Amino acid sequence: MASIDNITVEDFKNLFTRDFPYLPLYIEGKAYFKDDIVYVEPNFYKCLTDGTTTAPPSESWELTNDSIDNYISDADIERAFAEAKINFNPDFFKDDETAIMVFCYLAAHYLVIDLNNAQNPLALGFMGFTQSKSVGSVSESYGIPQWMLNNQMLSAYAQTGYGRKYLSLIQPYLIGNIIYTPGRVYFG
């Protein structure tokens, strides 16, 4: 049986390196280049020269206007982990590596839901799925697989691409198998 007890925020960030705008914390010893932005509590700094290895504030950095609200923090990811743990069964998987990868997709789903709720806190309820959208001569249409929509529990995960990916990864584990074993009853 697999476990997600050892999952870390770094596991999440390594799987989704390009998916989310993570808070750009300054890393000691890393070389920074012109226009790189870093966060050193409580401020953001913009690099002024290529190959900078000194920590801000210094002559190689200038204070810049930005907000931590524009980035995903470790606390946001940890909150998504806590939410995902409520609905995740690691016993589906034989190894920790697979369980952690699938769990990260579920956590990403919850992270996106949290971000959407934070951006529009007054939006009430589930809005449904776009089947068709058009503006002028441009149109877009897509559908959610019927097996996702037919299940009241699973259809909620179809709201995000990460949730749909999660469902596609657990789909084989949602099908029960029945094995026939011949035997007999002895009355003696």
Q: What is the pLDDT of residues 111-130, one digit of tens each?
A: 999 999 888 766 555 444 55
- What count of other Cβ atoms lies within 10 Å of the Cβ of residue 28? 6
Q: At what angle do helices 96-119 and 74-86 cross, to 10 degrees?
A: 110
Handedness of CA 93, 95, 100, 105 (dihedral sign): negative
Q: How far apart are CA 109 and CA 114, in angstroms?
A: 9
How far apart are the C-alpha atoms of 169 and 182, rounded to whole Å? 33
Q: State both tokens at 147.
A: 């097996």
Read off the pTM: 0.77
Q: How far is CA 182 from the centre of its chain?
A: 46
Tens-place pLDDT, residues 21-75: 999 999 999 999 999 999 999 999 999 999 999 999 999 999 999 999 999 999 9
Instruction: Please check whether residue 55 is in contact with residue 28, taking contact to mean a CB–CB distance below 8 angstroms.
Output: yes
